[in-house]
Structure 1
Amino acid sequence: MTRMIFVNLPVADLPASMAFYEALGFTNNPHFTDDTAACMVWSDAIHVMLLTHDKWRTFTSRPIPPSTSSEVLLAISLDSREAVDAMNDKAAAHGGTADINPKQDLGFMYNRNLADPDGHVWEAMWMDPAAIPAE
């Protein structure tokens, strides 16, 4: 079986969060979606579980951090610099925040950070491994 990752995120407004992630290119897996949770698929190996606050609290008693804090920064790779820019633009147009950190352009690697409507931080990144400078 392929190793997979399921990123679980607490969200305040499940339908709005689903729409946000769909706008970024995720697809919904209805088999794992109901009124309390939605499975949003990035690839065969990467899934994001959007959980209402009540559902989240069934997994942990730890507090949900405010949207102004950063508990993790999740990086996902894209096929080009243009795709990174497009994802950042889509985030801003669909309830998220674009460029929450300065963009980084190292020539061989390019990234921009965005936040979803609940403040979860994503790094959209592109890299050309063949262009990485030798040490």
Structure 2
Amino acid sequence: MDEIRTSCACGARLVEGAPWCHLCFAPVGSSVAASSAAGRFAPLGAAPQTGTTQPPPGSARTSRFQATDVTFGPVGRLVVTVLVLLPLAAFVAALLVAPAAGITGIVVWGGGIAPKALRDTWRRRPNVLR
């Protein structure tokens, strides 16, 4: 059996040689990361820490036109919009050749897939991830 030690700031019992804490996911041996993670994650049944402040509700700024870590900027969003609407234009053109396929494509793509893709593309996202 491996030797168990406690060296994480969150108080978790760690196995010797563990590269990270299984409770707060902080790297073992990094006191800065462990102490910052300990403020966010507390062991089950632990008393809440005092002195940690949460930002007031509504203080996160959102934008559709600023690129973040997980979204495109305005150019990327316009490119995605064009790429999502191209198949819809192809289905409209297919109405002349094969009306059944064109109508099916318009209903499926234009009624289900494109609206969801465009909604997710243009959704307001926080400028900074926490």
Report the TM-score when normalising by structure 1: 0.21
Q: Specify which structure has the bigger relative contact order, considering alpha-carbon pairs within 8 angstroms and separated by 6 or more residues.
A: 1
Structure with greater helix percent: 2
Structure with greater strand percent: 1
Q: Which has the larger radius of gyration?
A: 2
